[in-house]
């Protein structure tokens, strides 16, 4: 099994006209937290910009068998995500005027949280999830889930056994697929004539505007914007019929796609988003400015850590984004340990640097000098928790979107 390889063509249009847009420090796999220290490779982590279609991607492709077969992430550990998915199911059914008994397929269904809300509305559901344990757990909970990677062959197997899908959902997974052409071909074959494909994924413009660079890691191969996607889906005779924006993942879009020969026509919001993106004019200079902003915040944080004498510095948040932040800001040189509220992370070591992870209650016992909130997008919830504990006298650092301290 080849561990990794490099892609030198655009994932959407096939062009070789790629340009380095944002160089980041090499990083280990973001969620490879293990209970024993083990040697782990770090892989290059750079964003490339396609000068022909405007698509943005990383070119280091780690074999998905390595990443996903034993993947430890489950939806329910992310703050607010279950509630988001409940609203998601309600909103989609309202938008599409779906009554009961529709066939809903979720690709990358994880623990089946989203599908459980569709099932509660009396729809027939099927999950696709390559993590064997996660898929088995979901099935045990009543969400029928296939423990397989989705491709054209699986699409054909599903249509023969279950029928064509009225709704296909793909949430924070489309960006993780290397061969998008084969994957999307399979999706188009699985979709009923008047079926709808709904993709939710982080939005490139929001990632840049909100400084969410730590959302860049090896699982996320693609960084989507609307205009390149519209060109891509034209290959499959599909068009964009609606777009909605959400604050999840630092800023996400929910795209509704349908066959051009279906009953669906584009909502007025589609053109509004297209015009907004054209005005933003994403180009190589966009990323040069982004890099400058990132490195400025890094310099502020490192200068603060270097100019003060701290006995113990602790990072709050043992997440996937923490790995990119620790690697690029080189925080492993300063952190004594990490804390987290996810039971699955407690008692593990961080990817690559083997920083031990403890329950957040350790802060009460240990009383470190400084807490860096690595999970900075959840800073309000974390600060509230720290203020309610005995840690209130400790200095707290918020590294992004702008460096600041709370004393």
Asked if the bond preceding 388 is cis, omega within 30° of 0, the reply is no
Going by C-alpha positions, the residue among 130, 96, 92, 140 that lies closest to residue 114 is 92
Query: Biggest alpha carbon distance in the chain?
Result: 66
Question: Per-residue pLDDT for 69 more than 60?
Answer: no
Q: Could you give the CA distance from residue 73 to residue 30 in angstroms, rounded to a whole number?
A: 11
Whole-number pLDDT of residue 83? 87
Q: How confident is the model over 14-27, as pLDDT tens digits?
A: 999 999 999 999 99
Q: How confident is the model over 266-281, as pLDDT tens digits?
A: 999 999 999 999 999 9
Q: Is 289 helix (H, G, I), strand (E, B) or coil?
A: helix
What is the rounded average pLDDT of the residues 291-295? 98
Q: Which residue has the tokens 């070119």?
A: 59
Question: Per-residue pLDDT for 386 more than 90?
Answer: no
Whole-number pLDDT of residue 78? 55
Q: How confident is the model over 134-183, as pLDDT tens digits?
A: 999 999 999 999 999 999 999 999 999 999 999 999 998 999 999 999 99
Q: How confident is the model over 196-211, as pLDDT tens digits?
A: 999 999 999 999 999 9
Contact between 176 and 31 under an 8 Å Cβ cutoff? The reply is: no
Q: Could you give the CA distance from residue 316 to residue 397 in angstroms, rounded to a whole number?
A: 10
Q: Both tokens of residue 358? A: 């403890």
Contact between 246 and 255 under an 8 Å Cβ cutoff? The reply is: no
Whole-number pLDDT of residue 392? 54
Whole-number pLDDT of residue 128? 97
Q: Could you give the CA distance from residue 112 to residue 189 in angstroms, rounded to a whole number?
A: 23
Q: Which residue has the tokens 């988001």?
A: 84
Q: Which residues make beta-bridge pairs with 314?
A: 337, 371
Q: Could you give the CA distance from residue 7 to residue 204 in angstroms, rounded to a whole number?
A: 20
Question: Per-residue pLDDT for 303 more than 90?
Answer: yes
Residue 238: φ, ψ to 5°: -120, 150
Q: Which residue ranges make up each domain of the chain? A: 75-282, 309-406
Q: Where residue 376 falls among pLDDT bands split at 50, 70, 90?
A: very high
Which helix (H) or strand (E) segment holds residue 358: the answer is strand 357-359
Q: Could you give the CA distance from residue 28 to residue 33 in angstroms, rounded to a whole number?
A: 10
For the full predicted model, state whether its pTM sits above 0.85: yes
Q: Give the count of alpha carbons within 13 A of 138, CB side only.
A: 30
DSSP one-letter string for 174-238:
GGG-S-HHHHHHHHHHHEEEEEEEEEEEEBHHHHHHTT-GGG--TT--EEB-HHHHHHHHHTTTE
Q: Average pLDDT of the chain? A: 92
Q: Could you give the CA distance from residue 368 to residue 314 in angstroms, rounded to a whole number?
A: 7
Whole-number pLDDT of residue 390? 64
Q: How confident is the model over 387-406, as pLDDT tens digits?
A: 887 655 678 999 999 999 99
CATH number of 309-406: 3.40.50.720
What is the rounded average pLDDT of the residues 41-51? 95
- In this structure, whether the domain defined by 75-282 belongs to CATH 1.10.3720.10 is answered with no
Contacts of 176 (CB under 8 A, 6+ apart): 64, 108, 219, 220, 221, 222
Q: Where residue 64 falls among pLDDT bands split at 50, 70, 90?
A: confident
DSSP 335: -
């Amino acid at each position: 099994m080849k561990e990794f390889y490099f892609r030198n063509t655009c994932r959407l249009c096939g062009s070789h006209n790629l340009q380095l847009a944002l160089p980041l420090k090499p990083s280990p796999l973001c969620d490879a937290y293990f209970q024993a220290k083990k040697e782990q490779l770090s892989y290059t982590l750079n964003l490339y910009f396609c000068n022909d279609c405007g698509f943005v991607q990383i070119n280091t492709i780690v074999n998905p068998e390595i990443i996903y077969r034993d993947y430890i992430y489950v939806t329910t550990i992310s703050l607010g995500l279950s509630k988001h998915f409940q609203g998601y199911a309600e909103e989609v059914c309202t938008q599409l005027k779906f009554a009961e008994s529709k066939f809903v397929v979720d690709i990358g269904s994880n623990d089946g949280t989203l599908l459980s809300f569709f099932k509660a509305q009396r729809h027939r559901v099927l999950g696709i999830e390559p993590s064997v344990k996660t898929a088995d757990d979901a099935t045990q909970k009543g969400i029928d889930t296939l423990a397989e990677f989705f491709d054209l062959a699986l699409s054909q197997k599903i249509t023969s056994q279950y029928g064509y899908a009225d709704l296909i959902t793909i949430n924070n997974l489309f960006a993780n697929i290397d061969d998008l052409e084969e994957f999307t071909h399979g999706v188009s074959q699985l979709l009923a004539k008047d079926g709808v494909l709904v993709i939710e994924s982080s939005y490139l413009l929001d990632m840049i505007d909100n400084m969410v660079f730590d959302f860049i890691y090896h699982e996320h191969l693609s960084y989507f914007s609307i205009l390149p996607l519209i060109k891509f889906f034209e290959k499959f005779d599909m068009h964009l019929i609606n777009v909605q924006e959400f604050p999840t993942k630092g800023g996400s879009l929910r795209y509704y796609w349908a066959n051009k020969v279906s009953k669906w026509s584009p909502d007025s919001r589609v053109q509004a988003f297209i015009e907004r993106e054209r005005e933003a004019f994403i180009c190589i200079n966009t990323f040069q400015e982004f890099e400058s902003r990132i490195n400025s915040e890094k310099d502020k944080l490192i200068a603060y850590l270097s100019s003060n004498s701290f006995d113990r510095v602790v990072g709050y948040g043992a997440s996937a984004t923490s790995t990119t932040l620790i690697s690029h800001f080189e925080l492993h040189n300063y952190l004594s340990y990490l804390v987290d509220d996810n039971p699955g992370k407690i008692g593990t070591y961080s990817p690559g640097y083997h920083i031990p992870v403890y329950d957040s209650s350790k802060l009460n016992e240990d009383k470190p000098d400084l807490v860096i909130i690595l999970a900075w997008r959840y800073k309000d919830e974390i600060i509230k928790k720290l203020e309610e504990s005995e840690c209130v006298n400790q200095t707290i650092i918020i590294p992004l979107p702008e460096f600041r301290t709370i004393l």
